[in-house]
Amino acid sequence: MVICPNCKKEFEDGTMFCNNCGTKLEPVVSPDSNQTVRNEVEQVQPVAATPVEKKKIPKKALIFGAIGVAVVAIIVLVVVLLLNGGEEDNKKPMYNYAMYLKEGEIFYSDLNKESKPWQLTTSLFEDDMTDSNMLEKRSWYSGNMISDNGKYMVYTDKIGSSGTRGLYFRDIKNPKAEPVKIDSAAKEFVIDPSSSFILYATGDDSLYQYTFANDTKDKIASDIDELALSEDYKRIIYVTKEDSVYFKEIGKDKEKIASDISDLVYTNKKATTIYYEKDGSLYKQDIGKDKVEVASDVYRVIRVYESGEIYYMKDASTEVPLMNFVTDDMKDADAAMKKPEYPDYPDYPSSPSRPYRYQFATDEEYQAAYEQYEKDYEEWQKTRERMEKEYDDAVDAYYEDQEKYNAKSNRDDLREDLAERTTKQNKYSIYYYDGKEATLVSETAEDYDIDYAKDAPVIIYVPLVQSEIAKVKISEISYYWELEDKISEGQSATTEYSIAVKNKSTAVTAEKEPAGFTINKAGTTIYYLDNLSEDHNYGDLYRINIKNGAIGKAELYESEVCTGTMYTGVMEFIDNDRFMYYKDVKASKGEVYINKEKIDFDVNISTIFAYADSDLIVYFVDWDSEDSKGTLKVYKNGKATKIADDASSFTVTPDGRVLYLYDYSAKYFKGELREWANGKSRKIDDDVMYIIPTIYFRINR
C-alpha cells in the first residue's frame, strides 16, 4: 500500500501519482518496478504556481522545485505548492526534448532531426559508481528544467557523496558555450515565468534568487520550512523553522505575517491571501490586513478553495472510563475468596511388624500370630491408601482453588487497569464555510477516507454511527484490550457514504458495501463500486452526476469492473470527462476502458500513460516480466497502433511524442533510445541507460 505524503490518501503499490492532489509517488515508467503513469497533464507537472493546500504535511520539507536526494521527497510539495493552474495554462509554450542517462552523464536532445544529442553534465556523480548504482540514484538527477522562453536549461551536476549538488544553466541555442555555475549546494529550484530569474533553495534551507541577465544571486530568506509562490513567482509566502510566516515581494523587504503557527494550510494563486492554523484556530489573512478567525477548535482542514470556501472538521470526541463498559459479575465472589494453602503431608501410621517362627514356641502360636499380622497389615494398608487419597484429593483441590485464585488475582489486576484507562468515543463533525459563516454538514463522520473535488466544494465522507455497546461481563475478558476491541467494533463506521455539495449532504443509496469512490476535479461526476465479489476483485461500477448543486441518483454504469491489483489503483479520472477503469484483470494484465470504450486487452495496467486534454494513451501489451520487455502501443483517435516490440520503458513529451528504450539489456543496463511521432519511429541515441521523464518537469501554469 502506498500513502500519498501530501493528502494521506491510500493507493495500491505502484501507483505513481495521487489522483486526489496530484502529488507524484514514483517517477519512472517501468513495469517490472511496479510504477504506473495514468494521470492528467496537470497532475504530472511538479513545477507551476500557486495554491498551497496542505493537510498535515511533515515539517522539514522545503520544496518548490525538482532537485533532490529523492524525487518522491522533493516533489511532495512541488505539486501542492505550485500546481493549481487555470484553463489558460494550456496556452503556454511546450518545449519538447529528451533527457537521458548515458555513460554516467545526462545527455540532451531537442528532438530535431538535424540536431545531434549533446552531453549536458560533465561530472554527474563525483564518486565512482557502477551502472547499477547509477540507476539506483537516478532520482538524484531528475531536476532539469527549460525556461519558458526556451533559452535556458537549468540542471544538476557534480553530485557529491555527501549529497551536495551543483546547480548550473546552459544556453540551449549554444551547446558549445560553457555552463554557468549558479551554486554548489542547491537543493530545489524553479524558473520564473518571465525566464528572468531562478528561485532555489540550498542544503541549509536558505532561499536565493539568481538573475540570468547580470549573473547575480541574492539571499531572500534563511531557515525556511515551507514555501509558496504566486503565479508569477514574484510574491513569496514562507514559514521558518521557528513557525513564523513571512511575505516577501521580489525586490522589496520581507513582512512578518504571523508567528507560532501550527500549519500553513493554503495560499491563493496570487499569494495575497493565506490560511493557517494557530492554537487550534483557523485564520484567514490578506496581506497588509489583520487576520480573521474562520473557526476555532479546528481538528482538521479538509479543503480550502480559491473562492474562500472551506471544509473543516471539529473533534468533539470524549474520553470514557473503560469500567463504564463492564459488569463486575465476580465482585462478591472474588471479595470472599481467600488464598488457598497447600495441604500438610499426612502422618502415616507405622506398618505392623511381621512375626517370624523363631519368635514363638510352637507352630500353633506362630500361625495364630501370622494370621493376626495379615489382618493388621490389611487394615494398615487400607488406612494408608485412604490417607493417601485424602492427601491427593486435598492437593487437587488446592490446585483448583489456586487456579480460581489466580483468575481472581488477574481480575483484580484487570480491575485496576480498567479503572485507570479510558477509551475515546470518536465524534468528528464536518463544517462548510462559505466565506462568511460556517454551517454544520455532518455531526459525526469518520476522520479519514474523505475525498473532495479539487475545484468545487464537493466532498465524499463516511458518516460515523456508534451502535449501543452492551456491557461486557468481567468474567468474559482477561485483558483490557479485549474490551477496547469490543468497543471499537461497536463504534466502527457504517458502510454508507454521503456526498456534500457546499452545506447540503445526501446519503448514497448502495446495494451492499460501496467502495472506491472517485470524484473529478470539477465536482460534477462521481464513480464508485458496489456488489463486490467475495474476493473483492470485481464489482459493479456506478455513476452519480451532480448538476447545479443537485446530486443525482446513482446509476449502474458498468459491470465486472476490477477493484484493482497490488500494483494499481482502482480506477481514476484522466480529466473531468474521461474515466479509466479495468476489466478481466489477471496477473496485472487486463482490458482497459475509458468511458465504456475498450482501449485494448492484455494490457500491463501498471504502466499506462493517459494524457489529459488529449486522447493519447500509451501502454504495454504482451509484457514479459523476466525479460522486462513488451510490445509498446499507443491509442489515439479511437485507434490502437503498435509502436515497437521489445520495448522496456517510455516517457511522453508534452506534444505527445513517445520516447522509449528499445532492445534494452537488463544485464548491461543499456538500450537504444527511440522516438515515435506521427506513426513513425527513429533512433535518437545508443547505449542509453535511462530516460529522464522530462514531462514531469515542464512548467504548467
Query: 611-659 pLDDT, tens per residue?
Result: 777 788 999 999 988 888 999 999 998 899 999 999 999 998 878 899 9
pLDDT of residue 138: 53
Rounded to an integer, what distance in angstroms lies between the CA atom of residue 44 and that of residue 38? 9
Mean pLDDT of 432-460: 94
Contact between residue 29 and residue 604 where contact means Cβ atoms under 8 Å apart? no
Mean pLDDT of 677-696: 85
42 pLDDT more than 50: no
30 pLDDT more than 90: no
Mean pLDDT of 411-424: 91
3-state secondary structure 592-640: EEECCEEEEEEEECCCCEECCCCCCEEEEEEEECCCCEEEEEEEECCEE
pLDDT of residue 451: 95
Confidence of residue 65 (pLDDT cuts 50, 70, 90): very low
Identify the residue with better confidence: 51 or 558: 558
Query: 144-192 pLDDT, tens per residue?
Result: 678 888 889 888 888 776 666 789 999 888 888 889 999 988 888 888 8
Rounded to an integer, what distance in angstroms lies between the CA atom of residue 137 and that of residue 147? 25
Confidence of residue 18 (pLDDT cuts 50, 70, 90): very low
pLDDT of residue 429: 96
pLDDT of residue 144: 62
Q: What is the spatial order of strands in the sheet that 152-157 belongs to?
A: 144-146, 152-157, 166-171, 180-183
568 pLDDT more than 60: no
pLDDT of residue 85: 29
Q: What is the pTM of this model?
A: 0.76
How many C-beta atoms lie closer than 10 Å to residue 665's C-beta? Answer: 13
Of 279-283, 428-432, 458-462, 464-468, the least confident: 464-468
Contact between residue 9 and residue 517 where contact means Cβ atoms under 8 Å apart? no
pLDDT of residue 293: 97
373 pLDDT more than 90: yes
Q: What are phi and psi of 457, to 5 degrees?
A: -70, 80
Q: What is the CA radius of gyration of the chain?
A: 36
Residue 145's closest CA among 88, 89, 193?
Answer: 193
Mean pLDDT of 27-56: 34
297 pLDDT more than 50: yes
Cell numbers given for 272: 495575497
pLDDT of residue 489: 72
Mean pLDDT of 335-356: 94
Say what percent of the chain tops pLDDT 70.
80
Rounded to an integer, what distance in angstroms lies between the CA atom of residue 693 and that of residue 106? 12
Q: Return the exposure string of 103-112: e unless at least 16 CB atoms fall within 10 Å of the residue's CB, then b.
A: ebbbbbbbbe
CA distances from 573 to 87, 640, 653 (A): 17, 20, 20
3-class DSSP assignment, residue 695: helix
14 pLDDT more than 70: no
Query: 573-607 pLDDT, tens per residue?
Result: 999 999 999 999 888 889 999 999 999 999 998 88
pLDDT of residue 77: 26
38 pLDDT more than 90: no
Identify the residue with better confidence: 428 or 465: 428
494521506: which residue's cell?
A: 8
pLDDT of residue 666: 84
Mean pLDDT of 419-447: 92
Of 242-246, 318-322, 501-505, the least confident: 318-322
pLDDT of residue 10: 54
Of 146-150, 291-295, 506-510, the least confident: 146-150
3-state secondary structure 26-62: CCCCCHHHCCECCCCCHHHCCCCCCCEECCCCCCCCC
3-state secondary structure 121-150: CCCCECCCCCHHHHHHCHHHHCCEEECCCC
Give me the residue spans of the domains in the chain. 2-85+94-317+515-697, 321-424
662 pLDDT more than 50: yes
Say what percent of the chain tops pLDDT 90.
54
pLDDT of residue 615: 83
Confidence of residue 51 (pLDDT cuts 50, 70, 90): very low
Cell numbers given for 262: 501550527
Rounded to an integer, what distance in angstroms lies between the CA atom of residue 298 and that of residue 286? 20
| Mean per-residue pLDDT over the chain, rounded | 82
